Amino acid sequence: MTHRNEKENHNRMAERLRGLPEVSPPASLRPGIMASLTPKKPGWATRMRRFLVQPHTVTFVPIKWAPALAVLLLLAVIPRLTSVDNARKPVAETVTTRQASLTFTFEHPHARQVALIGTFNRWMPDGQVKTEKRGNLWIFHVDVDPGRYEYAFLVDGQEIVPDPQAAFRRNNGFGTPNSIVYATANGQNQI
């Protein structure tokens, strides 16, 4: 019953509305609505395009540009001075950097594959590290420049394990520690 009453009310209202005369809106309605709207700020790309398209006047006042020109001149001259200074050094003063050979051992009874990863190979297992396996013992040899390196062992391509023999460790921010080794040019390493 209620549905029928609603339908009848709608029909009556529609008939009354059809009978009303059509009236144009007042002339002030549209300008009033538009004035109340705030314009949208253009995006950075539009602002940049407008800036580049619009002409700009640039005046050159030498005294204002003097500091910038002095900096540019220094930037151009300093590299040349250092290269001339390096060219004059006698051959005896040049230092050759020897690489350090590092050896790591890791024992894991159930590992099918173990890789040495670290800052020396961008944490990616690769051919730079020589690997040997003797029973459950994995032996790794890598030649690096002298310095400090963080490393770990990647077991079966999934589990990252820090070196249990390492004297130094650092939290890597991912919940596991990284082992640290210091390689020296005389071939000794501190694990």
Identify the pLDDT of residue 88.
55
Whether residue 156 contacts residue 167, with contact meaning beta carbons closer than 8 Å, is answered with no
Prediction pTM value: 0.49
Query: Which domains does the chain carry?
Result: 100-190 (2.60.40.10)
Identify the pLDDT of residue 94.
54
Least confident of 14-18, 97-101, 134-138, 158-162: 97-101
Whether residue 156 has pLDDT greater than 90:
yes
CA distance 141 to 128: 9
Tracing tokens 């001075």 back to the chain, one arrives at 81
Give 146's DSSP letter. Answer: S
Q: What is the mean pLDDT of residues 86-101?
A: 62
The dihedral sign for the CA sequence 107, 110, 112, 113? negative
pLDDT digits (tens, 9 = 90+) for 14-31: 888 888 888 888 888 888
Whether residue 102 contacts residue 148, with contact meaning beta carbons closer than 8 Å, is answered with no
Identify the pLDDT of residue 90.
55
